Chains A and B, each alone.
Chain A
């Protein structure tokens, strides 16, 4: 079993839709949670960074962490064609140096 599971998609939605992207994990020691956006032939760009459980909002993006269920989500409101990319979740424990990445979910937002 992988430490981090992420549905690869692709996920296709119409412009303006609310998008929900999710990851599950198995290591209860993970405390830091990240979402990255990666456009084709580019490096991942950090979108959201949260510590422990709860919600964090930044513009159209909301990150949610449910440690009891070992489940994290990224919501995108009013999705735009420019949001079309691969979204990677990532996580790390407090004392560790290693970040574990999900395989990424490919998102297409149709105009």
Chain B
């Protein structure tokens, strides 16, 4: 079955530590996205990528970094510069570069501070 796989489901970060969240899709979608979800707030866009080797900052990119070396993979690194990383992180993809198709989501990674 095609879909978006995020791993791990739960992740704990120590002070000063960088952590990387994995996102893999086998839908052959061009565009991929990372969102952060906090209680009572809508999804906030961190980064997005329309094609391989290209990505753009979203609304809350500070303290995060991404790479897009392969079409199917879009890992997100939460750096030590992100002072409030505790949240539910969602990866999404969509089939067209122009974004006229809706996004489909993975099942998320919950990140907490140790």
Contacts and interface: CB of A to CB of B under 8 A. Distances in A.
B102 A32 contact: yes
B103 A99 contact: yes
B8 interface: no
A41 B90 contact: no
Interface residues of B, number: 24
Contacts of B48: 97-98
B104 A103 contact: no
A9 B104 CA distance: 25
Nearest to B50: A97
Interface in B30-58: 31, 40-43, 45, 48, 50, 58
A8 interface: yes
Nearest to A8: B40
Contacts of A101: 42-43
A76 to B, nearest CB: 19
B42 A43 contact: no
Given A4-B42, A103-B41, A43 B99 contact: no
Contacts of A6: 42
Given A101-B42, A102-B42, A103-B42, A43 B110 contact: no
Interface of B: 4, 6, 31, 40-43, 45, 48, 50, 58, 90, 92, 98-100, 102-108, 110
Interface of A: 2, 4, 6, 8, 32, 34, 36, 41-46, 49, 88, 90, 92, 94, 96-104
10 contacts: A41-B110, A43-B92, A43-B105, A43-B108, A90-B102, A92-B99, A97-B48, A97-B98, A98-B58, A102-B42
- Nearest first, the 7 A-B pairs at minimum CB distance are A43-B105, A101-B42, A97-B99, A101-B43, A43-B107, A103-B42, A49-B102
